[in-house]
Amino acid sequence: DEGLTADRLPEAGWLEMAERCLTDGNLRHALRAFYLANLAWLGRQEFLTIDPGRTNREFEIELRRKARQSPLARELFAANVRAFERAWYGLHDVLAEDTREFRQRGEQIKTLLTVEVAA
């Protein structure tokens, strides 16, 4: 359902959905599910406040404020927002490499912010 927001499933649920989409060859929906998984994780860690009315730009601004200690994580998130918007709203073709890179950036964000929080 395209109306689902990140807070409707835990990160693991979004990741499972992304894997199913990859298996089905639906790379565009896989990218969206990876994006929502990342938002769900950031929301659970209180780096973002998930609200259906918020824009991706608002998420970027909030992350910039709450993750000042990790400029690289903020840059990676911004790159994922751009990739997501290109694929979802710009209707650009999504390649398997795009989903791999997107997923890697999401994992890097989690690693960076987990390390920063623990420090």
Alpha-carbon distances, residue 64 vs 13, 15, 22, 38, 75 (angstroms): 26, 24, 30, 15, 9
Mean pLDDT, residues 59-88 taken together:
95
Tokens of 23: 């298996």
Q: How confident is the model at residue 2 (pLDDT cuts 50, 70, 90)?
A: low
Report pLDDT digits (tens) over 19-65.
999 999 999 999 999 999 999 999 999 999 998 889 999 999 999 99
Tell me the DSSP string of 63-86. HHHHTTT-HHHHHHHHHHHHHHHH
Please tell me whether residue 94 adopts helix, strand or coil conformation: coil
